[in-house]
Amino acid sequence: MKTTVVGIGNVLLSDDGVGVWLVHRLLAAYRFEPEIELLDGGTLGLGLISHLSETDRLLVIDAASTGSKPGTVVVMRGNSVPAILRATLSAHEASLCDLLAALTLLGRTPREFVAIGIEPHSLAPSVELSGLVRDAIARAECEVIAQLSAWGIACESLGLESQAALTL
Amino acid sequence: MTRIVIDPITRIEGHLRIEATVDGGAVNDAWSASTMFRGMELVLRNRDPREAWLYAQRICGVCTTVHALASVRAVEDAIGARPPINARLLRNIIAGTQYIQDHIVHFYHLHAFDWVDAVAATKADPAATARLAQSISAWPQSSAGYFKGIRDKVKAVIGSGQPSLFANGYWGHPSYRLAPEANLLLVAHYLEALEWQREIVRVQAIIGGKNPHPQTYLVGGMAIPIDPNSQAALNMERFDQIRGLIERAKAFVEQVYVPDSLLLAAHYPEWFTYGAGHRTYMTYGDFAEPSSDISAYRFARGIVRPARGMHVESLDQNKIAEYVTRSWYAYPNEKAPLHPWEGLTDPKYTGPNPPYDFLDVDEKYSWSKAPRYAGEPMETGPLARLLVSYASGRPEVKKAADGALGTLKIPLASTLGRVVARALETQLMSGWLIEWLDQLIANVGTGDLRIHDGTFWEPSSWPGDCQGWGSHEGPRGSLGHWIRIKNEKIENYQAVVPTTWNASPRDANGVRGPYEAALIGTPVVDPARPIEILRTIHSFDPCMACAVHVLDLSGRQIVRVDADRGAGW
């Protein structure tokens, strides 16, 4: 049973990169048993096919505009995810939808799919997260750890300060 | 007259909006607008120049290695560092596999559906498709049973109504010209290419590390050890793995991609008469190895204007400058262009507040600047490389082009000319990859294991305040990074990407950018379904490279084709 956690977004555009920053934080702050793969997916889009085509359980972390307050963390599970993606399939950011559609076409759809979204505040060119989204990272991290625990993956904290290790 | 807006252009990387006016069934004017501010160069200011590539590779998720390479070259040019031959060959091998992957993904996954009707493919006869496949290629997956399986799969996907890669298309458009069997063949290869691209990226994983973002670039060389006697380094076993992957890629290029490109070319001959544009072509050139001399570049450097003969003008990067007269930026003098070393990124949006119907194209209308060479717009990319290298007398390029030209008897300066040029250079590149690997192994065999030259690593060794230019012929065209270093930090950084050249808006003299010029005369049969505009724009392989990546959950309908019939135009 292979599990992959992938953070998606552009780290040069403030909160757009929150998913990537969180993955780097998880890599620095935890030891995972059994081993899972944590990926800095950046904005690779279809280029991630080779990394995701063997995975059974997929957890995506991404900035998500739901129209909520900046910093809001939303968790989408199972059937709701494809339905939401369908509504936005032709929208400007098609690469995640295209990626899932491509995996489906290849008969390699992950058996379980969870998306954790964080409402962005700023998309200006910067490698800093906005304050509201920086504060949300800890909540998003809890959601990731809770999901992994639900999948039977033990996560041992290495005792790093919260908000430390936000480096590439 | 009809005014058409396509926003965004789908199946590209990033945001591009095209507005066009159509009269008498053809485009008579066009405006290319990048609708999202990037300005990522600002992020690089005041950083250590040696870290620049780590950030530069994030400019675009599709072109990570391309920006990493231009960035380390810019810093090396500024401080005088010279990477050893092993490092340069490894960089070429990464770059070459990037070409093959990008071009195949472009042909099948971004461009093919402009020419291939996936719905019509479901009406194909599998046995006739098998005969067609076997008549143009020795590729083994060509049985009637195989094509029946693909046909049934595509039927099921389309029939399910589920979101899929076949969801967006102008299916049934009268401009589709292929028989059902050719459509099925191309759709089958679309699926094979999806599977195949999982494999070719393993070359980059072997050299660049497991992470999707390469970790192994380094100013002055590369950061991966080579040692035939170590399991922890690049050794013969890894070289053999790379060779196997390259050879399989070469077979796919020669037996699938190139024959499919020529099949399209044969069925759409009129598309060799549309889409040329200004006919001014520029290349920075690249890939001299094992030499380090510009005159040895396999893709030659220079400027060619075929309308004025095939003379190759030598390129001087000092003649490059960017206008913002029609772009949403502020310059001290809006009429004068700035060289990238002096470049400013001072955003100043003056366009309409969204939602809006049309941009005010008489004023500023794009987030893209307008780069010009000695004041002239230039097309960059595979077609430019082929023409400049051909005119420079590069024997391999001449042979490849003459072979295709002899077969097709066509002028290359056109929409489909770009498609054919891209396929031909992919074939060349797959051969060069094997040559570079052989050169690397031979050099390592002499006992030379050097992968990094640290002479200029410490800032104290740098020539004080300095500036540099890093150029690379990336898959989409000529990429330049310009850097100024002051007090050991980045003072200014500007990237002029291939798509900025090609997608540029008008300049201070009102001269159109290459996309805009190429669209003039493009036929449009049905303004509500302007597939012909997509054909010409996609032929350039746009990469707007802004890559803002926000999951949009509000369900807004963003794709919009507006055909405003009449009304004052």
Q: Specify if B547 maps to a domain.
A: no
Work out the pLDDT band at A168, boundaries 50, 70, 90: low
Segments making up each domain of chain A, as ranges: 3-157
pLDDT of residue A161: 65
Residue B394 lies inside a defined structural domain of this protein: yes
Task: Provide the pLDDT for residue B68.
Answer: 95
* Phi-psi map region of A159: left, alpha, beta (phi>0 left; psi -120 to 50 alpha): left
Please indicate, yes or no, if residue B469 is contained in any of the structural domains: yes
Alpha carbons B456 and B81: distance in angstroms, whole number: 6
pLDDT at A96: 73
Per-residue pLDDT of chain B (569 residues; tens, 9 = 90+): 888 888 767 666 667 889 999 999 999 999 999 877 777 788 899 999 999 999 999 887 778 899 999 999 999 999 999 999 999 999 999 999 999 999 999 999 889 999 999 999 999 999 999 999 999 999 999 999 999 999 999 999 888 876 677 876 789 999 999 999 999 999 999 999 998 888 888 898 899 876 778 889 999 999 999 999 999 999 999 999 999 999 999 999 999 999 999 999 999 999 999 999 999 999 999 999 999 999 999 999 999 998 888 899 999 999 999 999 999 999 999 999 999 999 998 889 999 988 888 999 999 999 899 999 999 999 999 999 999 999 999 999 999 988 877 765 667 899 999 999 999 999 999 999 999 999 999 999 999 999 999 999 999 999 999 999 999 999 999 999 999 999 999 999 999 999 999 999 999 999 999 999 999 999 999 988 999 999 999 999 987 643 333 444 443 322 333 333 322 22
* Interface membership of B266 toward A (CB under 8 Å): no
Instruction: Tell me the two tokens of residue B77.
Output: 């040019």
Q: Rg of the Cα trace of chain B?
A: 23
Task: Give the whole-angstrom CA distance, residue B260 versus residue A99.
Answer: 24
- The confidence score (pLDDT) of residue B383 equals 97
- Residue whose C-alpha is closest to residue B484's, from B46, B17, B21: B46
Q: Write phi, then psi, for B422 (nearest 5 degrees).
A: -65, -45
**Neighbouring C-beta atoms of residue A143, cutoff 10 Å:** 19
Residue B296 sits in which domain range? 35-522
A51 confidence band (pLDDT: 50, 70, 90): confident
* Contact criterion met (CB < 8 Å) for A42 and B212: yes
**Residue B260 maps to which CATH number?**
1.10.645.10
Does some domain include residue B6?
Answer: no
B304: closest CA among B231, B237, B394? Answer: B394
Superfamily of domain A3-157, CATH level 4: HybD-like (3.40.50.1450)
CB contact under 8 A, B552 and A92: yes
Of B39, B549, B557, the CB nearest to A43: B549
Rounded CA-CA distance B456/B438 in Å is 29
Selected for mutation to probe chain B from A10, A40, A72 (highest B CB count within 10 Å) is A10
Of B59, B215, B544, B551, which to mutate for an interface test with A (greatest number of A Cβ within 10 Å)? Answer: B551
Please indicate whether residue A24 or residue B407 has the higher confidence score (pLDDT).
A24
Ranges of beta strands (E only) in B82-239 are 217-218, 221-222
Residue B167: predicted pLDDT: 73
> Cα dihedral sign for B521, B525, B526, B531?
negative
Position B551 scores a pLDDT of 44
Q: What is the mean pLDDT of chain A?
A: 83
For residue B568, tell me if it sits in a domain: no
Q: Report the domain count for chain B.
A: 1
CA–CA separation, A100 and A86 (whole Å): 11
Query: Distance of CA A127 to CAs A12, B60, B209, Å?
Result: 5, 15, 23
For residue B556, how many C-alpha atoms fall within 13 Å in the half-sphere facing its CB? 14
Tell which A residues from 131 to 150 touch B, by Cβ distance under 8 Å.
none
